[in-house]
């Protein structure tokens, strides 16, 4: 049995080692859904993730024309040609509020798609840190 202990908590160890991209997507970008694992090294001085299939990457992309940053999901690391993208809010892809997918003619908001950190390493803390 588990016994509750006041003052003890568990939290994800940062940075996140696995991002799960999931949610109802209207059938667009379906193959890009799933688990993304943090990779060694950096792309544009930012961490990046690779899909469990090995085919897709989740990475920060900076538009050369506008300077805006995006979280991109594509088969070529660093490409602007993507399956899904979201406006960059922070180094944490979980902060991306809306992901968009291409329906063949337009970029369509995928309101149910979200990125979440799945803890592979937990950090246990007590009232003393």
Residue 53 token pair: 């299939």
pLDDT > 70: what percent of the chain?
80
Q: How many CB atoms lie within 10 A of CB 6?
A: 7
On the question of pLDDT at 15 being above 70, the answer is no
Residue 68 in 3-state DSSP? coil
| Helix count and strand count (H, E) for the chain | 0, 11
Higher pLDDT, 10 or 51: 51
Instruction: Say whether the peptide bond before residue 87 is cis (omega within 30 degrees of 0).
Output: no
Closest CA to 16 of 114, 90, 120, 87: 120
Give the helix, strand, coil percentages of the chain, each rounded to 5: 5, 40, 55
- State the chain's maximal CA–CA distance in angstroms: 58
Closest CA to 118 of 16, 22, 10: 16
pLDDT, tens digit (0-9, with 9 covering 90-100), for 76-113: 999 999 999 999 998 889 999 999 999 999 999 999 99
On the question of pLDDT at 17 being above 60, the answer is yes
d(CA 71, CA 1): 42
| 93 phi, psi to nearest 5 deg | -60, -20
On the question of pLDDT at 122 being above 70, the answer is no
Q: How many CB atoms lie within 10 A of CB 5?
A: 8
């Amino acid at each position: 049995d588990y016994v509750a202990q006041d003052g003890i908590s568990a939290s994800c160890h940062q940075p996140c080692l696995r991002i799960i991209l999931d949610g109802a997507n209207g059938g667009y970008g379906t193959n890009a859904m799933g688990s993304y694992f943090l990779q060694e090294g950096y792309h544009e001085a930012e961490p990046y993730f690779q899909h469990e299939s090995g085919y897709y990457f989740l990475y920060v992309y900076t538009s050369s024309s506008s300077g805006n940053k995006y979280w991109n999901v594509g088969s070529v690391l660093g490409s602007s040609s993507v399956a899904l993208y979201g406006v960059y809010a922070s180094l944490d892809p979980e902060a991306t509020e809306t992901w968009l997918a291409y329906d063949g003619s337009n970029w369509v908001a995928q309101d149910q798609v979200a990125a979440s950190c799945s803890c592979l390493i937990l950090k246990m803390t007590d009232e003393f840190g």
